[in-house]
Amino acid sequence: MAKTKPGKKDLDSYTIKGTNKVVKAGDCVLMRPSDSDKPPYVARVEKIEADNRNNVKVRVRWYYRPEESIGGRRQFHGAKELFLSDHYDIQSAHTIEGKCIVHTFKNYTKLENVGAEDYFCRFEYKAATGGFTPDRVAVYCKCEMPYNPDDLMVQCEGCKDWFHPSCMGMTIEQAKKPDHVLCSDCLSMWGITSWKLAFILNGSHPL
């Protein structure tokens, strides 16, 4: 167990002011920013302690939003994406506004409904250098971009790869229809033209 400085004591939990929500070490929280125009900061609570005047402080590990990172927000970053940084800090517990959940990327993609308190993290971030761990992730589609869970993608029934409708020359409405999809590479490999594909799938000539 970490040593506590004289005059301070470790706390098992902290109740957020004005609520009945209890925060413990390991929980993710929303913290009030100094600029009221900005969204709340997100952090993971590492430790809770009180001094001899009963002022409660929390040691936190910050999450960064993509736009707060050195590289900035990129096309494949999700709206609720965060990076777990190596930036630690001590903050007053009174700045905690609420609790939130930072899911693994895999678990986030399985959510049926994403609430205001739901976020996800797939990278750790070094605040000083702008480096990421892992430094490589799987890419998809012709554009070779990592998966953004906010963007609709369709799966090719041939190669089983995933594609953005726009990269396939499809509208969002067409992509949402339960029709068969083959990418251009699979069409070329099998020597299938668009009218042949329509005949195979629909059993009728498209014209």
β-pairing, 162-163 vs 154-155, is antiparallel
180: phi > 0 → left, psi -120 to 50 → alpha, else beta; which? beta
Answer for the pair 25, 108: CB distance below 8 angstroms, yes or no.
no
pLDDT confidence of 2, banded at 50, 70, 90?
low
The residue ranking higher by pLDDT, 19 or 199, is 19
Six-digit token string for 203: 């059993």
**Which of 116, 114, 61, 70 minimizes the C-alpha distance to 90?**
61
Domain spans in the chain, listed from the N-terminal domain onward: 9-138, 152-207
Does pTM top 0.85 for this prediction? no
Say yes or no to pLDDT of 202 above 70. no
More confident residue, 205 or 29: 29
Q: What pLDDT digit, counting tens, does each position of 120-148 carry? A: 999 999 999 999 999 888 898 889 999 99
- Domain 9-138: which CATH class? mainly beta
- Rounded Cα gap, residues 204 and 207, in angstroms: 9
pLDDT (0 to 100) of residue 44: 98
Beta carbons of 52 and 6 less than 8 angstroms apart: no
Residue-wise pLDDT tens digits, 68-102: 999 899 999 999 999 999 999 999 999 999 999 99
Q: Are 72 and 81 in contact (CB under 8 A)?
A: no
Per-residue pLDDT band for 156 (boundaries 50, 70, 90) equals confident
Q: Which of 56, 54, 78 is nearest to 65 (CA)?
A: 78
* 2, 17, 22, 106 from 32: Cα distances, Å: 27, 12, 17, 28
The topology (CATH level 3) of 152-207 is: Herpes Virus-1 (3.30.40)
